[in-house]
Amino acid sequence: MIVASGGENVPRRPALAAQLPGAIVQRHAAEYTKPDDLPDGGILVVGSAQSGTQIADELSATGRPVWLSTSAVGRASVRYRRRHTVRWLCEMGFFDDRTEDLLDSSSVRLVPALLAPGGRSMSLQTVAEHGATLTGRIVGVNGQTLTFDDSVAANVAYGDRAAEAFRVMIDDHIRSLGLDAPDPEPDEAYRPIRLNAPGELSLQDSGIRSVIWCTGLTGDFRWLGEELLDPTGAPKRQGTVSPAPDVWFLGLRWLIRRTSGNFWGFPQDAAVVADMVRNSLAAGTGRARPS
């Protein structure tokens, strides 16, 4: 059996979502479609990765009051040295990295870097420039009062450091191969920013009537049985292989490589799993060696 039910198809919401007043309309990013589907008034967007920044930017463009509760997420310029950053990264083998290639294995738990579509670079600064008010991470709800930590400046700096790290990585690649490339250009999404983030926010006073949770997704593997799951509810596995006979996995993040969990990478993983199944059947063992 090949388990390909996906590891990111169940919306995650923090426990404090249940503490919001019942009159507040709550949506997860997976349920959001367009601004007109939300009631009039202010909107709090929680989470500043791909979905959060794009949704906050779209809502700000309607002229409505928007607050973005930020988190530590890296970012990359859409283009660098007159070439799409993704093309550089592909050429460098960045997306083919395996867990054993990483200097810091904790990297597998990081949220993917912000790389907005549409040909323009995105940062927390640009979202604020377009009208959203940045806050720290939401940490409490008490009636009508929301509480935030003081991480917003650190979150902005985190994104800027990641953007610079990508630029340095590309520069090193160009230098090591002696490539003829245009001179570096400024980071179009970087700019100094003056922050005046609220530590508390009154839903009533601010007019916030909607909250959009951009807090990620997970998978539901309970149907496999507890014996095949780790304490977090994720499948037990070694590479693509389950401890159970005749069970393999496909489509999970970092299953084999950086791109294992997306449309770009899983066809390569599918070929690996297919070979393993074929070899196992040919050997008549019902098992295969881990990838």
**At residue 212, does pLDDT exceed 70?**
yes
* pLDDT of amino acid 288: 46
Please list the alpha-helical segments (H only) found in 181-260.
Answer: 203-206
* pLDDT of amino acid 242: 92
The domain segmentation of the chain, as residue ranges, is: 11-217, 221-283
**At residue 290, does pLDDT exceed 60?**
no
Rounded distance, CA 151 to CA 1, Å?
Answer: 45
pLDDT per position as a tens digit, 88-116: 999 999 988 888 877 777 777 777 787 76
What mean pLDDT comes out for the span 54-80? 96
What mean pLDDT comes out for the span 21-34? 96
> What is residue 144's DSSP assignment?
T
Q: pLDDT band at residue 263, thresholds of 50, 70 and 90? A: confident
Higher pLDDT, 266 or 214: 214
- pTM here is 0.90
Which residues is 27 bridged to in the sheet? 212
Burial class (CB in 10 A: 0-12, 13-18, 19+), 270: middle
Structure tokens at 16: 């404090």
* pLDDT of amino acid 291: 45
Burial class (CB in 10 A: 0-12, 13-18, 19+), 104: exposed
Rounded distance, CA 69 to CA 148, Å?
Answer: 8
CB 113 within 8 A of CB 75: yes
Contacts of 88 (CB under 8 A, 6+ apart): 80, 81, 170, 173
CB 147 within 8 A of CB 138: yes
Burial class (CB in 10 A: 0-12, 13-18, 19+), 90: middle
**At residue 289, does pLDDT exceed 60?**
no
Q: Which of 8, 14, 22, 30 is nearest to 137 (CA)?
A: 14
Rounded distance, CA 42 to CA 276, Å?
Answer: 53
